[in-house]
Amino acid sequence: MKKKPAAFLDRDGVINYDYGYVYKYKDFKLRPGVIKGLKLLTKNDYRIFIITNQSGIARGFFKVKDVDLLHKLIIKNFKKKKITINEIKYSPFHIKGVIKKYMKNSKTRKPGNLMVKQILKNGI
């Protein structure tokens, strides 16, 4: 695969307004200029990756399936606008979580860069 330029963007607060633990599509409100910026990246053949901490999973506020559904709808609706999101990757972990499986420190959590490294390892 030919390597292409890539953009790595945070989700909450960058793509959408961060109202705290956004996991339902009805609460997902885009920030100004996002569509224009993403269209510019897509037009210029950038691969677009969204990376996001989702500690609400570890904290028991919502489930993995909720985040997966939200991300599926985000990708689908951007596609309708001719914007290609190559992948949305998230970290469900937090040391103060209540769901044992996700209650840990993880280098996938930003500001750690393991999510970016995992994407790069797959080749872009």
- Of the candidates 10, 18, 27, 68, the residue annotated as catalytic is 10
Is residue 11 within 8 A of residue 48, CB to CB? The reply is no
Q: Name beta bridge partners: 100.
A: none
Tokens 């909720």 sit on residue: 66
Kind and range of the H or E run holding 39: helix 34-43
- Active site (annotated) includes residue 12: yes
- Active site (annotated) includes residue 45: no
Is residue 97 within 8 A of residue 54, CB to CB? The reply is no
- Of the candidates 12, 18, 66, 68, the residue annotated as catalytic is 12
- Which sequence positions are flagged as catalytic? 10, 12
